[in-house]
Amino acid sequence: MKVLIGESPSKVYRITVMQNPHKLMMKRIKLISGIFLCATVLMGCKSKNEHTSTEKASKPNIIIYLTDDMGYGDLGCYGNPIIQTPAIDKFASEGVLLTDCHSAGTVCSPSRAGLLTGRHPYRSGIYYLQGYRGAHLRDSETTIAEMLKSGGYETAFMGKWHLSKLEKSEKIKEPHPGDQGFDYWFASTHNAYEGPKNFTKFIRNGDAVGEVDGWYCDVLTKEATDWLTNKRDKNKPFLLIVSTHEPHAPLSPPEEYSEKYNNSTVDSLEHAINYGGIARTEYDISQNKKEYYGTISQLDNAFANLMKTVDQENLKDNTMVIFTSDNGPEHPVNLEESKGEWEAPTRDFCFGTPGNFRGMKRYPYEGGHRVPGIVRFPGKISAGTTSDELVVATDFMITIATLAELETPKNNILDGTDALPAFLGKKTARNKPYLWVFPTHEDTYFRMPHMAMRYNDYTLLGWFPEKLENETLMDWMKSSVPVKFELYDLSNDPEQRNDLASIKPQLVDMIRPLMLKQWIEIRDEGPIWENMN
Query: Does the residue 23 lie in any domain?
Result: no
Does residue 351 sit in the same domain as residue 250?
yes
Does residue 301 sit in the same domain as residue 180?
yes
pTM (two decimals): 0.90
Per-residue pLDDT tens digits for 18-50? 333 333 333 333 333 333 333 333 333 333 333
Q: What's the confidence (pLDDT) of residue 173?
A: 86
Split at pLDDT 50, 70, 90, the class of 533 is low
Residue range(s) defining the domain that contains residue 502: 451-525
Query: Does the residue 170 lie in any domain?
Result: yes
Query: Does the residue 28 lie in any domain?
Result: no
Q: Are 368 and 436 in contact (CB under 8 A)?
A: yes
Does residue 496 sit in the same domain as residue 463?
yes
Q: Which of 296, 281, 272, 434 is closest to 366 using CA atoms?
A: 434
Residue 359 clears pLDDT 80, i.e. is over it: yes
Question: Measured over all CA atoms, what is the biggest interatomic distance in the chain, rounded to whole angstroms?
Answer: 94
Is 88 strand, coil or helix? helix
Which of 431, 464, 496 corresponds to the end of one domain? 431
By residue count, the chain amounts to 533
Q: What angle do CA 9, 10, 16 make, to 5 degrees?
A: 130
Q: Which of 299, 128, 322, 110 is closest to 216 using CA atoms?
A: 299
The CATH number covering residue 493 comes to 3.30.1120
Does residue 407 sit in the same domain as residue 488?
no
Per-residue pLDDT tens digits for 111-120? 999 999 999 9
| Residues 98-125, mean pLDDT to the nearest whole number | 98
How far is C-alpha 302 from the chain's CA centre?
18
Does residue 343 sit in the same domain as residue 484?
no
Per-residue pLDDT tens digits for 458-496? 999 999 999 999 999 999 999 999 999 999 999 999 999
Query: Does the residue 423 lie in any domain?
Result: yes
Does residue 199 sit in the same domain as residue 329?
yes
Does residue 135 sit in the same domain as residue 249?
yes
Counting the structural domains of the chain, the total is 2
Q: Is the dihedral of CA 451, 326, 368, 107 positive or negative?
A: positive
Q: What distances in angstroms separate CA 163 from CA 312, 480, 513, one per listed residue?
A: 33, 26, 32
Query: Does the residue 21 lie in any domain?
Result: no
Does residue 418 sit in the same domain as residue 501?
no
Q: Are 72 and 354 in contact (CB under 8 A)?
A: yes
Does residue 468 sit in the same domain as residue 503?
yes
Query: Does the residue 383 lie in any domain?
Result: yes
Q: Which of 467, 527, 457, 470 is closest to 4 using CA atoms?
A: 457
C-alpha Rg value of the chain to the nearest Å: 24
Q: Are 275 and 72 in contact (CB under 8 A)?
A: no
Q: What distances in angstroms separate CA 138 from CA 111, 134, 418, one per listed residue?
A: 15, 11, 25
The CATH number covering residue 367 comes to 3.40.720.10
Does residue 187 sit in the same domain as residue 322?
yes
